[in-house]
Amino acid sequence: MTYEKVNELNLKDTELRLGLPGTEQAKEEQEVSCVRSNKRQLQSDNEEESTPPTKTQIVGWPPVRSYRKNNNSVSYVKVSMDGAPYLRKIDLKTYKNYPELLKALENMFKFTIGEYSEREGYKGSGVIPTYEDKDGDWMLVGDVPWDMFSSSCKRLRIMKGSDALALDSAL
Amino acid sequence: MSEDDEDQSPASDLRSQRPCSPNKSRNCISSSQTFPDHVLENVLENVLQFLDSRCDRNAASLVCKLWWKVEGLTRSEVFIGNCYALSPARLTQRFKRVRSLLLKGKPRFADFNLMPADWGANFAPWVSTMAKAYPWLEKVDLKRMFVTDDDLALLAESFPGFKELILVCCEGFGTSGIAVVANKCRKLKVLDLIESDVTDDEVDWVSCFPEDVTCLESLAFDCVEAPINFKALEALVGRSPLLRKLRLNRFVSLEEVHRLLLLGAPQLTSLGTGSFSRGDQSQQEPPDYAAAFRSCKSVVCLSGFRELMPEYLPAILPVCANLTSLNFSYANISPDMFKPIIHNCHKLQIFWALDSICDEGLQAVAATCKELRELRIFPFDPREDTEGPVSELGLQAISEGCRKLESLLYFCQHMTNAALIAMSHNCPELTVFRLCIMGRLRPDHVTGKAMDEGFGAIVKNCKKLTRLAVSGLLTDQAFRYMGEYGKLIRTLSVAFAGDSDMALRHVLEGCPRLQKLEIRDSPFGDVALRSGMHRYYNMRFVWMSACRLTMGCCKDVARAMPNLVVEVIGSDDDDVNRDYVETLYMYRSLDGPRKDAPQFVTIL
């Protein structure tokens, strides 16, 4: 499959597949519906376990009932970037901390973010990541502890261009 | 011993009984019996009615035919551990005056998508048979059954004195079925929907309760994924003076819980707090939640917290000192939020939580909860390769602090033999030990050895152990220990473990009390299966999936044991002639193979 570049965005970005945004390798297999393939996995699995995220997902393992998983495992939020023609969605639960999240966003939207400091926010690149919290307020990404952020973040907006510059100079 | 232990056919001399009134009057006589028989029967009835334990009743029924008959007349509570072990007709022929039925359907591994949908365990034939035979039925308690709205409607219409409906891990029905039960069962005391899949039919079932004062003592709907009419709920609580247990779903906000507590807090003994987050009124000043909880003088059991806003968690502090049961397993609580709460829970006996409380949180539990009997730690992130916030450190702490521990369910990424050995010595009261090391085939992460010695110590030293679930890297040696020392084990769960058939043989040739065996993804084959043929009639069921069984061997077993139903369950693209058996599920049955098996089930 060839991918054309449209509006500077590589269509490969929009290819539907599992895996962290920005990772090049395709994930080995989707959740397997037939346990038979688990058997093959088992026989060859005496060596070192493969590193995440290429490990095949096994049906029904770990043995946690689905209603418990539903509550915790997925937390998709919309991500918009000023100037981008369409929004993206990411699962916040796949990230453990801010650096991981920001790196993923950088890869997804092809930008570089500046240095974060508590006092001055993001300096240097004219790109500012913000999020809308449970109360409907727009906040700067990075101010609160990660856990608090990931449970209260409703959507993300990456500001750039003139809005960001205005904020930059205001701060 | 359960109901399905009996393999006597219904006595042919059982005369048809005149219908008896609900109170156990001693005047149910069949006039054609001779005088001495009639007196003896009456005496026996008077005596046997005091027998509650089903083990005792099963023993009593084996004394002689008369005792068998009278026991059958006086048993009011029937337990059926496998709905396919007998037919509904046999139940109603054997037991004439049943008030309460406890019925279990699908095997537990069905919870984890290891069994296709529509396998069976339908409640329909049971309810339709009982509708005619047991007009005085009061209680139905179902686990892993498929229940339809029509079944619920039939139930509601057929049993005028119906009092208790408990549905655990059931599916097939929706809020419309619940509405019918609420509306028609005027004597309803208990409506408990627990971990069941309830479809949202957009029916306001809460409004369907009758308008007079209700008999409700327990209402649990925390698993219902549908908004409810809060005004109706408030009114219902207001006219339910006997209500002691109320478990709300996540569509009930903190403000609404606050209002309910103002109405009826002092009587409540068990509260499921719903979402534990604010609704739409986030702009207004929050009411004094702590004051509402302070009025919960009788609450000993707390659960809910489905969408916890952690800043409000301290509101529950006033009830902590009284709590014997606390369920945080839907709340992502960090150690810092958790420690101030648990510090007050000195009386806690049952504690469920997510591993987000970390080893640090478990250490706090160990320091405070000296009365702890049951601990369940669920994974916040149930994947195999995550870091894992709890480990052997938490388990070690618990074993040192909570010496009265009886039941453990623990999900983790890493474990050591040393921690299990310590627990085996520190917690001699353990009856249930279920450890899930989520990374498959993980060895002791300190020594690199298999987890054999750890689990070996558990079976050896915990002499009261009746239920065991193992995980991690295990060789045949672990199973040798289980077979030799697991004298009281009734339930055994195995996944991704063992080296060879010998492992399963050790278990089948040992473990004298083994009743329920569930195995997945382990290298056990025909030799192992054959080695257990002397005991399958004495077991409730055996489940083996993704093992190394062949069709030929399963057919041999089916042929050799005619009262064993041997089901081979395949996936959709299975070729009937394939020799490899994907899933084997076999169980004893008094009434032969079931008639409702779907296409993907082959009964050998």
Domain boundaries, chain A: 76-162
Mean pLDDT of A47-69: 64
Q: How confident is the model at residue A94 (pLDDT cuts 50, 70, 90)?
A: confident
Q: Which of A114-128, B198-212, B305-319 comes out lowest in average pLDDT?
A: A114-128
Are A71 and B330 an interchain contact pair (Cβ–Cβ within 8 Å)? yes
Note the helical H segments in A4-161. Answer: 36-43, 66-72, 98-109, 146-152
Mean pLDDT of B399-423: 97
The H or E element that residue B141 is part of is strand B139-143
Are A49 and B385 an interchain contact pair (Cβ–Cβ within 8 Å)? yes
Touching A: B residues 316-375, CB under 8 Å: 329-330, 332, 334, 354
Q: Which residues of B103-124 are buried (b: 16+ CB within 10 A; e: fewer)?
A: bbbbbbbbbbbbbbeebbbbbb
Are A69 and B385 an interchain contact pair (Cβ–Cβ within 8 Å)? no
The H or E element that residue B219 is part of is strand B218-220
B275 φ, ψ to 5°? Answer: -75, -30
**Is the ipTM of this structure higher than 0.95?**
no
pLDDT tens for residues B524-562?
999 999 999 999 999 999 999 999 999 999 999 999 999
Are B382 and A69 an interchain contact pair (Cβ–Cβ within 8 Å)? yes
Q: How confident is the model at residue A18 (pLDDT cuts 50, 70, 90)?
A: low
What percentage of chain B has pLDDT greater than the value 90?
Answer: 78
Q: How confident is the model at residue B71 (pLDDT cuts 50, 70, 90)?
A: confident
Q: How confident is the model at residue B485 (pLDDT cuts 50, 70, 90)?
A: very high
User: Which pLDDT value is given to residue B133?
Assistant: 95
What is the average pLDDT value for chain A, to the nearest integer?
68
User: Which pLDDT value is given to residue B282?
Assistant: 58
Q: How confident is the model at residue B28 (pLDDT cuts 50, 70, 90)?
A: very low
B253 Cα to chain A: minimum distance (Å): 14
> CA-CA distance, B393 to B376, in Å (whole number)?
16
Q: How confident is the model at residue B521 (pLDDT cuts 50, 70, 90)?
A: very high
Residue among B175, B174, B176, B132 at smallest CA distance from B157: B132
Mean pLDDT of B362-386: 92
Can you tell me which residue has the tokens 């054997």?
B94
Indicate the fold that domain B40-75 takes in CATH: Monooxygenase (1.20.1280)
Domain boundaries, chain B: 40-75
User: Which pLDDT value is given to residue B207?
Assistant: 97
Q: How confident is the model at residue B312 (pLDDT cuts 50, 70, 90)?
A: very high
Q: Which two tokens stand for residue A127?
A: 């790109």
B113 or B146, which is more confident? Answer: B146
**Chain B positions in Cβ-Cβ contact with residue A42 (cut-off 8 Å):** 496, 521, 523, 546
Residue A71 has pLDDT above 60, yes or no: no
Residue among A88, A85, A128, A123 at smallest CA distance from A108: A88
- Determine contact, residues B217/B241, Cβ cutoff 8 Å: no
**Chain B positions in Cβ-Cβ contact with residue A69 (cut-off 8 Å):** 382
Tell me, yes or no, if B253 comes closer than 8 A to chain A by beta carbon: no
B473 Cα to chain A: minimum distance (Å): 10
Indicate the fold that domain A76-162 takes in CATH: Ubiquitin-like (UB roll) (3.10.20)
**Chain A positions in Cβ-Cβ contact with residue B570 (cut-off 8 Å):** none
Residue B5 has pLDDT above 80, yes or no: no
| Partner residue opposite A38 with nearest CB, options B112, B439, B546 | B546
Residue among B240, B180, B253 at smallest CA distance from B211: B240
B307 Cα to chain A: minimum distance (Å): 9
pLDDT tens for residues B462-480?
999 999 999 999 999 999 9
Are A52 and B385 an interchain contact pair (Cβ–Cβ within 8 Å)? yes
- Strands B171-174 vs B164-168: parallel, antiparallel or unpaired: unpaired
> CA-CA distance, B365 to B384, in Å (whole number)?
26
Residue B10 has pLDDT above 50, yes or no: no
A124 or B353, which is more confident? Answer: B353
> CA-CA distance, B325 to B353, in Å (whole number)?
11
Residue A75 has pLDDT above 90, yes or no: no
pLDDT tens for residues B76-111?
899 999 999 999 999 999 999 999 999 999 999 999
Residue B381 has pLDDT above 60, yes or no: yes
Tell me, yes or no, if A64 comes closer than 8 A to chain B by beta carbon: yes
Tell me, yes or no, if B603 comes closer than 8 A to chain A by beta carbon: no
Q: Which two tokens stand for residue B233?
A: 């709920």
DSSP state for residue B122 in the 8-state scheme: B
Which pTM was predicted? 0.78
- Determine contact, residues B182/B205, Cβ cutoff 8 Å: yes
B569 φ, ψ to 5°? Answer: -110, 125
Tell me, yes or no, if B450 comes closer than 8 A to chain A by beta carbon: no
Of B106, B108, B109, B111, which to mutate for an interface test with A (greatest number of A Cβ within 10 Å)? B111
Tell me, yes or no, if B546 comes closer than 8 A to chain A by beta carbon: yes
Are A93 and B382 an interchain contact pair (Cβ–Cβ within 8 Å)? no
Tell me, yes or no, if B284 comes closer than 8 A to chain A by beta carbon: no
Are A68 and B520 an interchain contact pair (Cβ–Cβ within 8 Å)? no
A145 Cα to chain B: minimum distance (Å): 11
- Strands B374-378 vs B350-354: parallel, antiparallel or unpaired: parallel
What three-state secondary structure class fits B602? strand
User: Which pLDDT value is given to residue A11?
Assistant: 52
> CA-CA distance, B144 to B121, in Å (whole number)?
8
Q: How confident is the model at residue A133 (pLDDT cuts 50, 70, 90)?
A: confident
Residue A57 has pLDDT above 70, yes or no: no
Can you tell me which residue has the tokens 């001055």?
A120
- Strands B139-143 vs B100-104: parallel, antiparallel or unpaired: parallel
Q: How confident is the model at residue B571 (pLDDT cuts 50, 70, 90)?
A: low
A77 Cα to chain B: minimum distance (Å): 17
B12 or B166, which is more confident? Answer: B166
**Chain A positions in Cβ-Cβ contact with residue B582 (cut-off 8 Å):** 35-36
